[in-house]
Amino acid sequence: MRAAIVLLGIFWSTSLCAQAAQPCVGDEGLSDATHLSELREAAVRVKVVQCSGGSQDEVTQAFVEFIEGNQDWFARFGGFENDLNPMAVIKQTLAAGRTYDIPSIGISLNDELQIGAAFFAPASMATCQARAAPEACPNVFDEFIEYYTHAHTAYATPPRLAFVQGVKALSGEWDRYLTASRGFTTLEMAFNSAMYKRNESVDFQNPPDIQWILLHPNIVIENVDDAADGNNVEEAIVVDIFGMNWWRQDKWYMPTGFAVTGVYSDRPEVQDWGYGASLFFDSVYTVGYSNHDGDHGVYVSFDLLKLFQDKEQVYDRLVSRLREN
């Protein structure tokens, strides 16, 4: 039994070592070469530098060597029209010091190689066809693009992933804005959007720092001391007429925003409507002051009390009170 366990342990650790030592092959997903086997090998070498853990500088250097070592890959197919050479164009980018911006190579609608606004067609289609046979000349370009892109991707992946991280992080801020801020009514969405779009640019933007509050209805629990006994604490409707909310503020004891409000509640001997002001906490909870023609009140949002009171009962009481009017 003990021998079996020892043997199992040796086998397991040997497998792990074998896995750890497995070389990076560098040709995953790459088609076999029909026309450009040397170029394929060169592209794989670049990929191996990357997947073996080479630094970005090392990968870039390997890619530069790939470009410089394969300038004449199309020579045996007759070369390019007007003696142009896509690899030479790319060398110019390197000479200008823009190693962070080595171009990708695509194919045009006329089956030419394309780098931006530069197009590269075979000097002689007949020669190219003859050398590519039984395949067609454009297939040579397809193969070139596949291998060039394989090497280029090894070089360009880190900044692309950095971009993905960047936009995802910004997207997360927008998620927070849309979920952590006070809920938007349609009117508020229209107003906040108009304010946001005034300064929209061609770069991705942060969410607005300020959420504008406009004619936002709420239900609150209001206490008016001067009301008749038994009517002090009542449900009330508050409309936040205009206000602002700084949704990023995350200290629970500091207000996130404020609004000027109109308040309605139904009590005998107290004017139904009044004016006041609200303070918001955590962008959700409301604490406020009301003035019903000299009768002062304070109120808190319904959310704050939801842990302590039955929502349904409150709704029913308010609805029936309004219906009585």
Partner 1 sequence: MAKKTLVVVHGMGQHTKASVKKEVDDAFKAAFKLYDSLNGAKPSDKFDLVVFEYNSFFDDYRSALEENSNDILEALSGISGDLPPIPKLAAAITQLDNSVKEDSFFNTHWLDVVLYRFSLLSEPIRLELAAVIGEAIARVGSTNVHVLGHSLGTAVLHDTLAKAYGAEPLERDGKSLKLLSNRDRLGGVHQVANVSRVLESFRNVDASEVRPGHGCCSVFVEYRHKLDPFTKVKPFDPTDNEEWISHAVWRSAYQLVEPSSVTETNVHGLGHYLRNPMVHLMLFRLLFGFRPNVSEKTAASDKYLAGTVQGKATALRDAVDNLQLTEESVGELLMAGKAFKDLVKSFGEKF
Indicate the pairing of strand 233-245 with strand 273-281: unpaired
Is residue 311 at the binding interface for partner 1, with CB under 8 A as the rule?
yes
Q: Are 284 and 238 in contact (CB under 8 A)?
A: no
Taking alpha carbons only, the member of 252, 178, 182 closest to residue 213 is 182
**Is residue 167 a contact residue for partner 1 (CB under 8 A)?**
yes
Residue 293 near partner 1 by CB under 8 A: no
Q: Residue 40: CB partners within 8 Å, gap ≥ 6?
A: 27, 30, 33, 147
Q: How far is the CB of 207 from partner 1 (least distance, A)?
A: 8
Q: How far is the CB of 14 from partner 1 (least distance, A)?
A: 33
Give residues 176-195 in contact with partner 1 (rule: CB under 8 A).
Answer: 178, 183-187, 189-190, 192-194
- In 3D space, the residue among 69, 222, 199 whose CA is nearest the CA of residue 147 turns out to be 69
Does residue 124 belong to the site contacting partner 1 (CB under 8 A)?
no
- Candidates 108, 130, 209, 309: give the one binding partner 1 (CB under 8 A): 108
Is 282 near partner 1 (CB under 8 A)?
no
The least distance separating partner 1 from the CB of residue 318, rounded to whole angstroms, comes to 6
User: Which residues ranging from 207 to 266 are in contact with partner 1 (CB under 8 A)?
Assistant: 207-208, 215-217, 219, 235, 237, 239, 262-264
DSSP 211-252: EEEEEEEEEEEEEETTSPTT-SEEEEEEEEEEEEE-TT---T
Q: Which residues pair with 266 in a beta bridge?
A: none
Using N-to-C axis directions, what is the helix angle for 125-132 and 137-180, rounded to 10°?
90
Nearer to partner 1, 254 or 322 (CB): 322
Q: How many residues bind partner 1 (CB under 8 A)?
A: 92
Determine, following the binding rule CB under 8 A, whether residue 9 of this chain makes contact with partner 1: no
Q: What is 131-184 written as a DSSP string? A: HHTTS-HHHHHHHHHHHHHHHHHHHHHHHHHHHHHHHHHHHHHHHHHHHHSPPP
By CB under 8 A, the residues from 45 to 84 that bind partner 1 are: none
DSSP at 273 = E
CB of 42 to partner 1, least distance (A): 16
Give the nearest distance from C-beta 277 to partner 1 in angstroms.
15
The answer to whether the beta carbons of residues 44 and 27 sit under 8 Å apart is yes
Shortest Cβ 253–partner 1 spacing (Å): 25
**105 lines the binding site for partner 1 (CB under 8 A):** yes
Of the pair 11, 272, the CB lying nearest partner 1 is at 272
